[in-house]
Amino acid sequence: DQQVKQNSPSLSVQEGRISILNCDYTNSMFDYFLWYKKYPAEGPTFLISISSIKDKNEDGRFTVFLNKSAKHLSLHIVPSQPGDSAVYFCAARDLTGTYKYIFGTGTRLKVLA
């Protein structure tokens, strides 16, 4: 059963516009959330994270929003650049003991020049 869900397998955005990637989770014990970016033939690399005590975290062009009541988080990329084209994975961590990272299925972002 998928505890972390990314319902959009792909997304295309024009260069310079905003990219919004969405993620839903089912486990209310998740307390820490992360986004990873993955290029072909490479391992996932950490992008940005957010603790459950916050509702927003910003790092340059990347902002993650968390809505705990809706069990939903999103990643905003503004402005989008062709180099942002990659697969983005949402992940959640259960901090009550196991500390394992649960990942979603990924969203392939394509930024069109």
Partner 1 sequence: DAGVIQSPRHEVTEMGQEVTLRCKPISGHNSLFWYRQTMMRGLELLIYFNNNVPIDDSGMPEDRFSAKMPNASFSTLKIQPSEPRDSAVYFCASSPWKENTEAFFGQGTRLTVV
Site for partner 1 in 51-90 (CB under 8 A): 51, 89
Number of residues binding to partner 1, judged by CB under 8 A:
25
Q: In terms of CB distance, is 80 or 88 closer to partner 1?
A: 88
92: Cα separation from own chain's centroid: 10
Separation between Cα atoms, residue 13 and residue 64, nearest integer Å: 18
Nearest one of 104, 96, 6, 22 to 66, comparing CA atoms: 22
Per CB under 8 A, 101 contacts partner 1: yes
Smallest gap, in angstroms, from Cβ of residue 15 to partner 1? 26
